[in-house]
Chains A and B, each alone.
Chain A
Amino acid sequence: MSEHIISSKLYIAIWAALMCLTVITASVAFVDLGPLNTVVALVIATLKALLVVLFFMHVKYTSEKLTVTVIIAAIFWLVLLLFLSLADYSTRGMIHAGMP
């Protein structure tokens, strides 16, 4: 058993996709999409991060389940931190408004 070796062609294709997405995200920012601007920017960023993690960081080809567990746990912690904190901050006004 040895490591999986990815072809240079695939690496260059991933690089080209990342470059295109960068140009797209920078250009779309100038178009008025309302609140969707932020959503589009974050979706593109996540797509780019996913390409880097899966291909450049070889996660797509890893057979180590422990590594995958660590990655998923790390993302889960981040989501907990961001989501629960924002649930707090974004609803504070509602509570005070409801108070007599």
Chain B
Amino acid sequence: MPDTPLMTEHEQGLQHQFVDMEQQRNASSLGMWLFLATEIMFFGGMFLAYLVYRYWYYPEFAAGSRSIDIVLGTVNTAVLICSSLTVALGVKAAQLGKRKALVTLLLITILFGLGFLAIKGIEWYQKFEEHHVPGRSFSAQDLIEKYPQIHIDPAPAQIYFSLYFAMTGLHALHMMIGVGVFCFLTFHAWKGSYTPEYHTPVEIGGLYWHFVDIVWIYLFPLLYLIDRKPLK
């Protein structure tokens, strides 16, 4: 038995515990998927709280949903879908080793992410102005006057807005973390750290970004589209 190891030259970025780059890449990706599974449970609790309260207090949820800006919500959905496209194209650029394209696409993704957060900020600002933030200054008086057809009790209406702020806030926090991760990726991509053989960080960062997009895909109909049909 020769005592030289099977692989004398280590491929760039290959850790010694893995057989080859593919196995290493699959292990990283599996780890990310496991993390995303815990994220599903994390968000799942909020979705369950939402479903139970919506089931109990449907009229307040319907009125609350009518009061948030559907145009901003739809635009934000579109912004996130565009960002997911740039991420997917970015991962492809990394697979092909196109450094310039990768840096550009990552930067555009960051811009989309910041745009999303800015629009979210405008939306929240409106809610503060309308006294729809749960707490001492909360008031559902405007909703009661605007929708006389719906029987609105201010206390459950606060629950809708609590969930609105908790869910969009938690999602926005994930977006901020995503923007941070993508800044890190952009810096390393610009330095040329990623090659067709080694670009795992771009790939799993992308998985995270797409996951946050999917959470929004569900938040959009659940928070904005509860009841938009014309009132009789």
A residues within 8 Å of B by Cβ?
Answer: 1-3, 5-6, 8, 11-12, 14-15, 18-19, 22-23, 25-26, 29-33, 37-38, 41-42, 44-45, 48-49, 52-53, 55-57, 64, 66-67, 70-71, 73-75, 77-78, 81-82, 85-86, 89-90
Contact = CB atoms under 8 A, between A and B. Distances in A.
Contacts of B81: 15, 18-19, 22
Given A37-B229, A86-B55, A56 B210 contact: yes
B218 A70 contact: no
A49 B230 contact: no
Nearest 8 A-B pairs (CB), nearest first? Answer: A74-B37, A41-B221, A32-B229, A29-B228, A29-B225, A15-B85, A56-B88, A18-B81
Nearest to A49: B214
A58 B92 CA distance: 11
B52 A8 contact: no
24 contacts: A2-B22, A11-B89, A14-B85, A15-B82, A15-B85, A26-B77, A29-B225, A30-B228, A41-B225, A49-B214, A53-B214, A56-B85, A64-B26, A67-B26, A70-B33, A71-B37, A74-B37, A74-B40, A74-B41, A77-B44, A78-B41, A78-B44, A82-B48, A85-B51
Nearest to B96: A5
B109 interface: no
Given A30-B228, A57-B211, 8 more contacts: A5-B95, A18-B81, A29-B221, A29-B225, A33-B229, A41-B225, A73-B37, A77-B41
Contacts of A37: 225, 227-229
B214 A52 contact: yes
A81 B44 contact: yes
Contacts of A85: 48, 51-52
Interface of B: 22, 25-26, 29-30, 33-34, 36-37, 40-41, 44-45, 47-48, 51-52, 55-56, 70, 73-74, 77-78, 81-82, 84-85, 87-89, 92, 95-96, 206-207, 210-211, 213-214, 217-218, 220-222, 224-230
B85 A74 contact: no
Contacts of B222: 41
B204 to A, nearest CB: 10
B225 A67 contact: no
A3 B221 contact: no
B219 to A, nearest CB: 9
A95 to B, nearest CB: 16
Nearest to A40: B221
